[in-house]
């Protein structure tokens, strides 16, 4: 039997990701929490605790307008919470992937397309808050819906130009951009 309110924590976490602030994230995310999915995100997203979760939320909101998670089911056992959700949004800013040193490895310029993909999020809970998070996501389905794969020749050119721009920004800074490239002003193509 779970010693926490799984529905409150699960729904609260996705609500905070959708439109919450740092205080909202702190209600559901433990100060020592780790997000295993942040390994290919900017440095700020890799921080432990609510600050890292909030940085990820801000990054996703900047990239995808109308970002939302429809919660289909939440189950719990012991200290484990599992949520089956559908994530939706529209791709309006460049999405980047980062290496272990938080340098950009690939760029996906905005397509203006919408997506809806299922995900399963796994969370360990401590003191009624998420202490550890990992997920099974349909990234391939999202990439297909957004037109990232198979890429058209013009889109490949846009990807290369966006990657070059990001790497130049890193060179000017002398290293990775901690908050991520999504913090820069939007470019229109």
Distance CA 166, CA 64 (A): 19
What's the whole-number mean pLDDT along residues 110-134? 97
Predicted local confidence at residue 161, as pLDDT: 96
43-53 pLDDT, tens digit per residue, is 999 999 999 99
| Phi–psi pair at 4, nearest 5 degrees | -145, 160
Q: DSSP secondary-structure letter at 43? A: G
Higher pLDDT, 3 or 122: 122
pLDDT over threshold 50, residue 26: yes
171-184 pLDDT, tens digit per residue, is 998 878 877 776 64
Predicted local confidence at residue 187, as pLDDT: 44
Predicted local confidence at residue 174, as pLDDT: 85
The position carrying tokens 């202490």 is 131
Strand segments, DSSP code E, in 24-151 are 29-35, 64-77, 80-91, 95-98, 104-108, 114-126, 129-137
Contact between 41 and 135 (Cβ < 8 Å): no
Taking the CA atoms of 160, 168, 108 and 161 in sequence, report the sign of the dihedral they define.
negative
What's the whole-number mean pLDDT along residues 129-152? 96
Distance CA 18, CA 12 (A): 10
What's the whole-number mean pLDDT along residues 1-9? 80
Distance CA 164, CA 29 (A): 35
pLDDT over threshold 70, residue 113: yes
Predicted local confidence at residue 158, as pLDDT: 96
pTM: 0.91
What's the whole-number mean pLDDT along residues 42-63? 95
Predicted local confidence at residue 151, as pLDDT: 93
151-162 pLDDT, tens digit per residue, is 999 999 999 999
């Amino acid at each position: 039997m779970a010693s926490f309110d799984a529905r409150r924590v699960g729904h609260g976490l996705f609500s905070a990701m959708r439109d919450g602030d740092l205080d909202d994230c702190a209600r559901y995310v433990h100060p020592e929490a780790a997000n295993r999915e942040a390994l290919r995100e900017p440095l700020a997203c890799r921080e432990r605790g609510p600050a890292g979760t909030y940085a990820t939320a801000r990054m996703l909101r900047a990239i995808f307008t109308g970002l939302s998670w429809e919660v289909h089911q939440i189950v719990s056992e012991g200290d484990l919470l599992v949520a089956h959700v559908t994530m939706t949004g529209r791709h309006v800013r460049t999405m980047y992937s980062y290496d272990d040193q938080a340098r950009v490895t690939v760029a996906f310029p905005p397509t203006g397309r919408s997506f809806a993909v299922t995900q399963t999020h796994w969370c360990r809970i401590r003191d009624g808050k998420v202490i550890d998070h990992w997920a099974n996501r349909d990234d391939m389905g999202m990439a297909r819906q957004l037109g990232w794969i198979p890429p058209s020749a013009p889109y490949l050119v846009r990807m290369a130009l966006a990657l070059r721009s990001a790497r130049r920004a890193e060179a000017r800074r002398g290293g990775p951009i901690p908050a991520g490239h999504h913090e820069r002003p939007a470019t229109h193509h």
